[in-house]
Copies of this chain bind each other. A is one copy, B any other.
Amino acid sequence: MSVDQAAGKLPILIRMSPADNVAVVGNSGGLGAGTAIPDGPTLLEHVPEGHKVALRDLPKGAEILRYGEVIGYASRSIPRGSWVEESLVELPGAPGLDELPCCDKVPPRMPPLEGYTFLGYRNPDGSAGTKNLLGINTSVQCVAGVVDQAVKRIKEELLPRYPNVDGVIALNHNYGCGVAINAPDAAVPIRTLRNLARNPNLGGETMVIGLGCEKFPPESLAEGIAAADILTLQDRHGYADMVRAIMERAETHLKRLNDRHRVPCPVSDLVIGMQCGGSDALSGVTANPAVGFASDLIVRAGGTVLFSEVTEVRDAIGRLTSRAANPDVARSLIREMKWYDDYLENGQADRSANTSPGNKKGGLANIVEKALGSIAKSGSGAIDGVLSPGEKVDRKGLIFAATPASDFICGTLQMASGIQLQVFTTGRGTPYGLEMIPVIKVGTRNSLAEQWPDLIDVNAGRIASGDATIEEIGWELFKLILDVASGRKETWAEKWGLYNDLCLFNPAPVT
């Protein structure tokens, strides 16, 4: 990256690769017409923050290069110094999946990073939680109203007596009945629910509330669950008895959870999810590369990192298959892309459905440019494994967990895969939060950090303004991850109690 700063007005134009013929404005207010960039063009018009400037004359049909890759073709002749706005960038075809590179650029193993630990709750299955929560699972959406009322009373009447327990959460969702449970794609929501119940932050204390007549059997939610931990509302004598029974059973688990304390755990016990939402053109310049640097640190320290969002890696898939640790991983990456291509086509949509008006306002011309910035979250290491949506992670290292890009579906699926903490980058800004795990929000630009001082945990905008390096923000984030995982620091979302509901991915029909 070259950050050009003139002495006076300090215009900032950011180029990601020497081959690029466009660069992105880093200044909060954009740059005005007539601004002269040292060793660069003079702007012919105002260009907003995060948007692209033509570094040379681009004839109609010319390749537009960012990150050293073709992000599109000039829809008309674009003079040097122009704003290369969205309508000037013609979307290239998606890369084919049949002749992708395979394992040709596998990075060498990075040197191990030693000496870092966090304070976690050790679980019976060997995993460790970053929180000590009682999760009340549900096998069907019918029970949600009763479970919500029971959780309210548990929080008011029981929780104060168990101060080592961080909270009680209802795992409500919209699955379990009224769905085609034998359709092939029903496997996705079913394994998601089963694996959510096993999230390390729930301490292995599993209870399930079922109705009694649903399609999804409560006993299948958790293998080997004790009969006493399944409460079937149709077996109870009315509402009051339902609430009483749930509270009674919850207290058994609260007692056990309350006996636990944080103990030092190696970073190899951590599974961290990386996600972005409300992206802009700076996402791939500031926040995502810094997150990528932190990803490398976690992997070097023996931990596990999940990155996701199929439609946001699809157009950069060749860069990932090149980094696949072995051909199996490359084939699995391609399998997940193919599945999603078919899924979108089946619904008469395609990858262009991804970019939002906010992405575009933030300077992202299309899904190719968005994807090239998005994959920066994965850092620079070899890709060690691939998970289908909702599968539980089964190895250490850098993993691609295939999920939709929807923030809430991705978050839910990553929690099913076993993350105990999520890092979420945002350019446009979203107040996203999850109840089961802490979410650290990383902003892409100084102006967002200034506007949302009580929501953005880490300001990566300092990279664009030259006030910090990617490495510095990467280390800051790595240390914050350990602090939050240890309960030493609280995220803004935790402080305000900002929690989005679980949102299952159900590609199968409802009935």
Contact = CB atoms under 8 A, between A and B. Distances in A.
Contacts of A358: 211-214, 234
A430 B183 contact: no
Contacts of A142: 277-278, 407, 430-432, 500
Given A145-B498, A431-B233, A356 B213 contact: yes
Contact of A404 (B211, B429, B510): B510
A497 B433 CA distance: 25
A454 interface: yes
A501 interface: yes
A399 to B, nearest CB: 21
Contacts of A215: 356-357
B408 A178 contact: yes
A238 B452 contact: yes
B347 A242 contact: no
Please tell me the size bucket of the interface on A. 35 or more
A177 B343 contact: no
A357 B407 CA distance: 34
Copies in the complex: 2
B238 A454 contact: yes
Interface string A328-364: 0000000000000001101111010110111101100
Most B CB contacts (10 A, CB to CB) among A217, A428, A510 go to A510
A511 B354 contact: yes
A348 B428 contact: no
Most B CB contacts (10 A, CB to CB) among A172, A277, A429, A493 go to A429
A209 to B, nearest CB: 11
Contacts of A277: 142
Contacts of A455: 238-239
A68 interface: no
Given A212-B358, A213-B359, A431-B143, A503 B185 contact: no
Contact of A141 (B146, B346, B349, B408): B408
A226 interface: no
Interface of A: 141-146, 148-149, 172, 174, 177-185, 211-215, 217, 233-234, 237-240, 242, 277-278, 311, 343-344, 346-349, 351, 353-354, 356-359, 361-362, 404-409, 428-433, 451-455, 492-493, 496-501, 503, 505, 507-511
Given A144-B500, A178-B409, 6 more contacts: A144-B501, A178-B404, A183-B348, A234-B428, A349-B508, A405-B511
**Which 8 A-B pairs have CB atoms at the shortest separation, nearest pair first?**
A213-B358, A178-B406, A145-B498, A180-B349, A347-B509, A180-B353, A213-B428, A183-B349
19 contacts: A141-B407, A141-B500, A142-B277, A142-B430, A177-B406, A178-B406, A178-B408, A179-B406, A180-B353, A183-B349, A211-B430, A213-B357, A233-B429, A234-B428, A237-B452, A239-B452, A239-B492, A347-B509, A404-B510
